[in-house]
Amino acid sequence: MTSSPPFALFLLFLSAVPLVAGAQAPPSATSEPRAVEVDVQATDAGTVISSDDASRLGLDSDGGGVSLQPPTLVADSPAAWPQGLEGAAAEVRLELLVDEQGAVTEVKVLEAAGREPLTEAAVRAAPGLRFSPATLGGQPVSVRLPFVYRFEPPAQVALAQAWLRGEVRARGTRRPLADAALFVDGSAEPSALVDARGRFELELPAGAHRVEVRAPGHRPATFDETLVASQSIEVVYRLHPGAVNPYETVVRDDRPRTEVTRITLHEQELREVPGTQGDPFRVVMLMPGVASVASGLGYPVVRGGQPAATGYFLDGVRVPMLYHLLLGPAVIHPDFIDTIDFYPGAPPVQYGRLLGGAVEGRLSRPREDRLHVTAYTDLINAGGFIEVPFEKTGTSVTVAGRYSYTGLLIPLAYAIFNDEEDNPLHASFWDYQLRVEQQVGEGSLRLFALGSSDDVGESSGNYEGGLGGTLVSRFHRVDLRGTHPLAGGEGELGLTVGLDQVGLVGERTLEVRPGEGLEPVRVGEYGLDQLSFSARAGWTRRLSDAVEVRLGGDVEHRRVATVIDGSARPPGWRPTDDAHPLKQPSSLATLSGAFASVTWRPSERWVVVPGVRVDSYHLVPGISHVAVEPRLSLRHQLTESLVLKGGAGLFHQPPTILLHLPAVDAAGLRYGLQEGAQLDVGAEWKAAEGLELSADAFYNPLARTVEFDVKQVLENRQRRGLLREDPVASGYAYGLDLMARHPLGRNWFGWVTYSFIQSKRHKRFARYADDTSVLEMAEGELAFAFEQAHVFNAALSYKFGNNWTLGTVLHFNTGRPESGEISSVTQREARSSDNYNVWVREDADRVERLAPFFRVDFRASKSWAFEDFTLDAYLDVLNLSLQQEVFAYEYTRRAGKLKREAMGLPVIVPLLGMKGSY
C-alpha cells in the first residue's frame, strides 16, 4: 500500500472542485457554538476564504480574504493488503475530516476499490493518520481533504522477501536488552527496535545482509545473515557488556525518607565490600555509630549498647543468629538479600522490644523471566542458589543453602602442623533456605523457611582421663506471609514457627579393658531448647497526598526447656530428662505488641511522623510488664539539597546477654524490663552529584538496664537462678556520627565514616587495698564494657574497564575499657605484707583501656561473561595488614618482677573463591 501526500491532492482538488473548511463561528449570548462550512479558493496569494465568509466568521479580511494554511501529514498509517486476497492494483479515494489537533475524526469513501476488503482496509487504517493542524488566520481549524490509498498486491514481491526474527540478550546474564537497536547493511537510522522482551522482527530482501546490533552499556556486535526468499529465520544476538555487573546508578523507587536515620544499601554495596566475605549483613560493621567486639565478628555494637540490643530482621521475621561459628559467613545466602536498611537510632514503631538499633534485610523479589542458578565455592564452604519461575501458575520457587568442609580442612591442617595423629579440634556448619511465592488475585502468598546448624569443639584426646566437649547451635524458622489489598490500603498477615537449640555435649576418655585401647564416652549434655509461635499483622493506607496511616501488631509465644542429663549435672540440680519445650517446658513467655503511626506532610518541605507502640510481656507464673513507647520523627527540607531531621522515642527490651541465647530474654523477665530513650538530631546534605553527607548527634538516657555477661549467666544457672548482686543499673550514651558517601555509579562506590561514642553505666563498685581486701563500696559513672570512643572507617571499590575490581577498607578504633566484663581487669602494682611486688585489682573507675587497633582489608575480583553464564574469581582478605588486636592483658610475676603482656592475635581471614551465575 502507498498513500498520496495530502498537500498535493489538496491543491489539485482546489483547482477542480470547491473545498469545504469547517470553522467555529463566534458564539452569541443566546446560542451555542456551531460548525460553519465555507468555500475555500485557490489564488495566486495562496489558499483563502472569501471576504464574506470571513466576515460571517468574525474574521478581519481587509477585503482580500483570509489565508488558510493546509495540513501536512506527520504520521502515516499504512493499510496492509488483506491476506489471501488476489487481484491487481487498486485505489481507494477517501474524504477525511481533520480536527484542530490534526487527528482524523471522520472518514468518508469517495471512490471504493473494486474489492470490498481493500476498501475496508483503507477505512480501518485512515483514523491512524496524523497531520499538522490547518490554520486559518493563524488559528487552528478543522478541514476536509481528500486522501488516496494505493494498493499493490504482495504476491509479486513475496518471493523476493524474507523475515529475520529473534531477540537481543546480554552475554552472560541472558537479560533481554529492551533498549537495543538493529542497523542493517550500514544504514544510518535504526532498521528495527526491540520490544520490552528484547524481541524484534525485520522484513528484508532475500540474500546476504550485515546486521549491527547496539545497546547502551554493551559493545556493538555485527552479524552476517543469509536469508532465503519466503522464509524466516530465528536468531539470538548476544552483546558483551561493557562491564560485568557494572557499578551503574540505577533509579529506584525507594521508599520516601520518613525516619530520623536510615542508611540503605543495595547490590554491590552489600556483596563486594572488602573484608565482609561477600555477606550483606557484615557491611553494617562499617556504618556510622557502630563499634565492634572484635575483628571478624559481625555483631555490631550500636551507639554504645550490647550487641544483643540490636535486632536483625528478614522481612519482619526476627533472626536469632546471623553468622556461622561467629566468624563464618551469614546464615542466609547473599542472593536472597536485595536491600538492607540500617537504623542506628530511633527505629520506627514496627520494630519493638529493642533498646538499640535495627537491621532489616529485605528479600529479593522473585524473578519471573527465566531460570536462575548461582553456585560458589571458596576455602571454607560451598553453596548454591536456584530460582525457578512457573509462568502458567504464577509461582516462583527458590532454594538455597551451603555446607562447610571445615570438618575436612581442620584435621588436615592439624596433621600438617602437628605430629599427633589424632585431631582434637572439629568445626562444621550448614544452612538452608526455601521460598515459594504464589500470586493470588491482587495479592501474594509466600512460604519462607530457613535453618542453620553449627558445631565446634574439642575431642577428649587419645589419653586416659581426657576431657572434651562440643558446642552445638541450631535454629529453624518457617514463615507464611500473605499480602492483599484491604479497605483501600495494603494488608499483611504472617505466621511463624521457630525452634532454637543451644547445647554443650561433654565427653571424656576412659579405658574400657586392657588391650582394647581407649574409648570416648558421652558424659552429659546441657542445653536450651526454645519453641516459638508468632503471628503478625499490618495495614497501610494513604488517606490523601498528605496523610498515610500504618497499623500493626504481633504476638509471640515462647516455650523453653532446659535439658540436662548424664553425669554433668551441677550439684543439687533436679533431674529433668523429660523436659520438652512443647510437653513440659521449664519457662513459658508470651510477648505481644501493637503499633500505630501517621506520616503527615503538612507541606512539601515537612514530614512529621508521630507514632506509638504498646508491648505486653508475660512470664509464667504471674510476671507481667506493660510498656508504652511514644515516638516522633521530623524531617524538614530546608533547601533542595539540605534536610534537617530529628526524632525521639522510648524503648524497652527484656534483659540481654552479649549475644542472643534462647530463653535468656524470656527467663530474664523476672528482673524486669530495660528502659531507655533515644534522642537524635542531624542533617543530610547532597553536596554534589554523587556525594552525600550526613551528621547525627544522639543522646540515649538509660533509666534501667539489665545487661548480663556470660560469666554472670553461667554462675546464675549453677545457683538455680539466685544472683549474688542486683543486675539493675542505669546510664546513658551520647555521641556524634558522620558519613560521606558516594553511592553506586561511575564505576565506583565508597564511604567514609567517623563516630565519637561515650557509653556510661552508674554502678556500685569496690575499692581495694594493697592486700586485695575491700576498703569500701563506692558509686560512680563507669565506662561501659563495649565503649569505643573513636571509630573510623573508609571503604572504596572501583570496577575497571577490563572487568577487574579492586577495593580496600581502612578501619581504626580505640580500645575498650579493661573492666573484666569481656576482657581482663586492669591490675596495679603493690607491695604485699611480706614485702613482695604483687598485682592488685584496680578500682573500676580507674581501669585502663585496651590498645587501639588499625587494620586494612582488601578485595580483588575478576569477571568473565560467557555465552549464557558469568564467572567471578575473587580474593577477599580481612586484615591484610596482619595487625594484632589486643583482647586482654596477662599480669604475671616472674623472678620477683611484675610483667604485663598483651594477649591477642592477628585475626586474618583470607577467602579465595569462585562464583558462577546462570
Per-residue pLDDT averaged across 825-834, rounded? Answer: 86
pLDDT at 5 over 70: no
pLDDT for 705-731, tens place per residue? Answer: 998 876 555 555 444 444 456 788 999
Assess whether pLDDT exceeds 80 at residue 276. Answer: yes
Work out the burial of residue 186: count CB atoms within 10 Å of its CB; fewer than 13 is exposed, 13-18 middle, 19 or more buried: exposed
The pLDDT tens digits for 61-96 are 555 556 778 888 888 888 888 877 777 788 999 999
Name residue 808's beta-bridge partners: 796, 858
Strand 199-205: give its sheet, edge to edge.
199-205, 161-170, 232-239
- Nearest by Cα to 454 from 330, 325, 323, 331: 325
Name the DSSP letter for residue 112. -
Q: How many CB atoms lie within 10 A of CB 608?
A: 15
What's the rounded mean pLDDT across residues 883-898?
Answer: 88
Report whether pLDDT(752) > 70. yes
Q: Are 678 and 336 in contact (CB under 8 A)?
A: no
How would residue 831 be classed by pLDDT, with cut points 50, 70 and 90?
confident
Alpha-carbon radius of gyration of the chain: 38
Q: What is the pTM of this model?
A: 0.76
Instruction: Please report the pLDDT score of residue 857 as a whole number.
Output: 96
| Residues 824/903, Cβ–Cβ less than 8 Å | yes
488-537: pLDDT as tens digits:
999 999 999 999 988 877 665 555 555 555 566 666 677 788 899 999 99
Q: 45: exposed, middle or buried (C-beta count within 10 Å: 0-12, 13-18, 19+)?
A: exposed
- pLDDT at residue 31, rounded to an integer: 31
DSSP-based three-state secondary structure for 636: strand
Confidence of residue 384 (pLDDT cuts 50, 70, 90): very high
Pairing of strands 853-865, 587-603: unpaired
Q: How many helices (H) and strands (E) does the chain have?
A: 8, 52
- CA–CA separation, 245 vs 251, rounded Å? 16
Looking at mean pLDDT, say which of 110-114, 161-165, 349-353, 808-812 comes out highest: 808-812
Q: Which H helix or E strand runs over 538?
A: strand 518-542
Longest dimension (CA), the chain: 135
Band (pLDDT 50/70/90 cuts) for residue 423 is: low
Q: Give the DSSP letter of residue 4.
A: -
- Of 281-290, 471-480, 556-565, 641-650, where does mean pLDDT reach its minimum? 556-565
Which positions ≥6 away from 622 have C-beta within 8 Å? none
Beta strands 518-542 and 489-511, pairing class: antiparallel
**Strand, coil or helix: what is 665?**
helix
Q: Grid coordinates 519471573 are at which residue?
A: 368
Of 342, 368, 332, 327, nearest in space to 269 by CA: 342
Burial of 685: CB neighbours in 10 Å, binned 0-12, 13-18, 19+: middle
391, three cell numbers: 509462568
Mean pLDDT, all residues of the chain: 83
